[in-house]
């Protein structure tokens, strides 16, 4: 199960996305978008992270039943499942 | 179903109220009756007999009974950002965009910024023309429900899928990043003047000329393990034109050389576990790999001016599978 948006794991995922290995093409592309937002130096860092969390959370929440490998990898035994 | 249909065969499928995605010469598309279909111009196809150029046959993707059509909608450049609002709850959106149109450029540069863009699968292609007609004709798309033809707007068929199924979009890219310089760009776009090579500013064209890079292999970015190509349209003395935008903040490298395209494709296809619903491949693979008359596994479908697997891709094969939910 995808954890609540307030779970600290989201901040870790969006801030250090290069440290993760994603399985599905859609997740890889979506996380690249998140990375570009988070690393944008022209806007507020904290706002960027929160925006990244919103995008990633909505994506995983909506698709959790079909992103089993990515969801298990990211959240299993990390207060998510 | 065979890979290419005659006009009469395509008309019969339309008249049976089937949901269809159709690729073919503009002159043929215009003769099709109204119905549940969208279409785009292109005369190049992967068939069971290999790559072919045809002006008298159509590639028809028949959407199975697992799908139900929700809507067919046209989106101008300004309205493209609303596409995610029209996504089905569980399904697939098929998009065809006229090549070199305002919607083509808008989609390629900005699609990933649209709210909810990645929340549902969107797949498709950029329509084109016979390479001999470049400068003479324009690529088009057609809304089959009205027969309306468009040179600037995109057409999308939104489909819902049975609740026990889901769609997955994937790609086969024979290119990967080479071991060369890290190239970044100060701006997002398809027309490039300057770049940074290992952090040092230089005219991109000068860099390419110096490295004797002619443009048959793409720039490649690594999107968390997915290699994303950006292909060269032309290289002049001052400017470089690309088929898809490079993005500010993304690191690119020149691709490593691909030897024996056909065999590499077959090897990649053998890893595929599910027969795809739809496949398209890039015109640049067709041209540079000399795929005319060569069979690429069992995959069939249009050979296009750009492939869409969520974002616009270049020199890539894209496919969609329908899978059972566990």
Each residue's pLDDT tens digit, B46-76: 998 889 999 999 999 999 999 999 999 999 9
A48 and B CB contact within 8 Å: no
Report pLDDT for B310: 98
Q: Are A61 and A55 in contact (CB under 8 A)?
A: no
Q: Provide, as residue numbers in chain B, all residues whose Cβ is less than 8 Å from the Cβ of A65.
A: 166, 325
C-alpha B2 chain-centroid distance: 21
Place of tokens 């992103």: A67
Asked if B113 lies within 8 A of A33 by C-beta distance, the reply is yes
Average pLDDT, chain B: 94
The CA-CA-CA angle for residues B109, B115, B121, to 5°, reads: 80
A1 and B CB contact within 8 Å: no
Q: How far apart are the C-alpha atoms of B264 and A62, rounded to whole Å?
A: 35
Residues of chain A with pLDDT under 70: 78-81
B164 and A CB contact within 8 Å: no
Q: How far apart are the C-alpha atoms of A17 and A55, rounded to whole Å?
A: 13
Q: How far apart are the C-alpha atoms of B119 and B166, rounded to whole Å?
A: 13
pLDDT tens string B259-283:
888 788 878 888 877 789 999 999 9
Report pLDDT for B304: 97
> ipTM of this model?
0.95
Asked if A25 lies within 8 A of B169 by C-beta distance, the reply is yes
Q: Is B26 exposed, middle or buried (0-12, 13-18, 19+ CB in 10 A)?
A: buried
What lies within 8 Å, CB to CB, of B212 at 6+ separation is none
**HSE (side-chain half, CA atoms, 13 Å) at B15:** 8
Which tokens is B108 given?
A: 């390629």
Q: How far apart are the C-alpha atoms of B168 and B63, rounded to whole Å?
A: 15
What lies within 8 Å, CB to CB, of B115 at 6+ separation is B81, B84
Report pLDDT for B295: 81
Report pLDDT for A79: 57
Q: How far is CA A18 from CA A5, A55, B225, B250, B258, in A?
A: 20, 17, 9, 13, 26
Which tokens is B175 given?
A: 């290119």
Q: How far apart are the C-alpha atoms of A55 and B295, rounded to whole Å?
A: 41
């Amino acid at each position: 199960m995808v954890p609540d948006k307030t779970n600290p794991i989201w901040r870790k995922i969006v801030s250090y996305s290069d440290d993760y290995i994603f399985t599905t093409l859609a997740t890889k592309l979506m996380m690249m978008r998140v990375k570009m937002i988070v690393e944008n130096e022209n806007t507020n860092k904290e706002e960027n992270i929160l925006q990244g969390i919103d995008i990633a959370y909505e994506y995983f929440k909506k698709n959790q039943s079909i992103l089993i490998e990515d969801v298990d990898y990211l959240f299993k035994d990390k207060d998510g499942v | 179903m065979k890979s290419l249909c005659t006009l009469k065969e395509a008309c019969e499928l339309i008249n049976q109220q089937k949901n269809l995605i159709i690729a073919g010469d503009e002159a043929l598309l215009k003769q099709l009756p109204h119905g549940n279909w969208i279409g785009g111009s292109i005369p190049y196809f992967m068939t069971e007999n290999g790559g072919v150029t045809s002006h008298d046959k159509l590639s028809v993707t028949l959407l199975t009974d697992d799908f139900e059509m929700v809507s067919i909608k046209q989106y101008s450049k300004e309205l493209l950002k609303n596409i995610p609002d029209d996504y089905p709850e569980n399904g697939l959106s098929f998009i065809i965009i006229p090549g070199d149109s305002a919607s083509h450029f808008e989609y390629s540069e900005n699609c990933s910024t649209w709210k909810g863009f990645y929340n549902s699968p969107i797949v498709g292609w950029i329509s084109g023309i016979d390479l001999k007609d470049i400068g003479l004709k324009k690529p088009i798309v057609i809304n089959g429900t009205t027969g309306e033809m468009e040179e600037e707007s995109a057409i999308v068929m939104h489909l819902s899928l049975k609740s026990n199924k889901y769609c997955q979009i994937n790609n086969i890219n024979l290119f990967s990043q080479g071991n060369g310089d890290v190239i970044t760009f100060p701006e997002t776009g398809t027309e490039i003047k300057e770049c940074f090579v290992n952090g040092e500013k230089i005219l991109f064209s000068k860099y390419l000329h110096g490295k004797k890079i002619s443009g048959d292999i793409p720039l490649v970015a690594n999107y968390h393990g997915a290699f994303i190509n950006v292909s060269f349209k032309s290289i002049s003395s001052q400017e470089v034109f690309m088929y898809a935008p490079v993005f500010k903040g993304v690191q690119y490298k020149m691709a490593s050389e691909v030897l024996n395209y056909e065999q590499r494709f077959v090897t990649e296809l053998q890893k595929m576990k599910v027969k795809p619903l739809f496949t398209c491949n890039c015109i640049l693979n067709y041209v540079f790999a000399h795929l005319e008359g060569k069979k690429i596994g069992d995959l069939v479908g249009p050979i296009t001016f750009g492939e869409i697997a969520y974002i616009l891709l270049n020199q890539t094969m894209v496919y969609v599978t329908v899978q059972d939910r566990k």
